[in-house]
Structure 1
Amino acid sequence: MWRSGSSSGSDPVACVACGTEVPRDDAREYDKHGDRWERNGKAFEYLCKPCFRRECHQPRDELESLLVDLDAGEGLSDDEFLAAYVEAVHERYGKVEE
């Protein structure tokens, strides 16, 4: 596949997880909508390779709606939010296996 030529693979990009700047060729595309194959009109964010390897590669079809339902980021402490998240996941999908 030919590159568009609009940006060089050596141009630095910042990892959205850790903030490290790496050359574009050493990063992985991240699409917050979960569909990196539909490229029209998108501006991608990037993950460095170590953060990409730590990322969960499972489907997240209903994650955004779950976070909206929980009012994520709206006045809960981290511990309160995580407890509410785990409870909501158990209610919707059953107990998560470890």
Structure 2
Amino acid sequence: MWGSRRNRGKTVVCIACGDAVVRSAAREYDKEGNRWERNGKSFEHLCKACHRDLCHQPRNELETLLVEIDAGVVEQEAFFTRYETAVRNRYGPLEEREG
């Protein structure tokens, strides 16, 4: 309810902007998308401003897809080409949707 005493005053680094913030002023980030399942996990953190800027839509399969296409390893142009191809293969052609 009040949080762990060992985390009071501890600082963490925001993975988005690199700022050091007090743990109580940060939000946990779980790349698996399920921060409630805590067993055996270590969490990264986001400052509140960066957390607000995130898209909070479900991201099922996203991490697996990014690993498969070597995100963060290949050049940006190759990444975009691989991403578009992978999404098209999994979900069909990319189309603009009418709002």
- Rounded to whole Å, the distance in 2 between the matches of 1:96 and 1:17 is 30
Superposition RMSD on alpha carbons, in Å? 2.0
Give the letter for the 1:59 counterpart: P
Question: TM-score of the superposition, structure 2-length normalised?
Answer: 0.80
- CA shift, 1:38, in A, is 1.2
Report how far residue 24 of structure 1 moved: 1.3
Say if 1:90 and 1:96, in contact at 8 Å, map to a contact too: no
2:16 is matched with which residue?
Answer: 17
Q: What residue ranges of structure 2 are gaps of 5+ in the alignment?
A: none
1:3-36 deviations in whole A, cap 9, x for unaligned?
232210x321100111111111211111112110
**Residue 40 of structure 1: how far off its partner (Å):** 2.5
Give the secondary structure class of the aligned counterpart of 2:46: strand
SS of 1:28 mapped into structure 2: strand
Query: Aligned-pair distance for 1:97?
Result: 4.6
Residue-by-residue CA offset, 1:35-71 (whole Å, 9 max, x unaligned): 1001223221100112111212122221122123213
Residues 1:31 and 2:30 are matched in the alignment:
yes
The residue number in structure 2 matching 1:5 is 5
Give the structure-1-normalised TM-score.
0.80
Give runs of aligned pairs for residues 1-80 of structure 1, distance below 5 A.
1-8=1-8, 10-74=9-73, 76-80=74-78
**Which stretch has the larger CA shift, 86-95 or 18-27?**
86-95
Structure 1 position 96, deviation (Å): 5.7
Structure 1 residue ranges (4+ consecutive) displaced by more than 6 angstroms after TM superposition? none
Inter-CA distance 86–54: structure 2 relative to 1 (3 Å threshold): farther
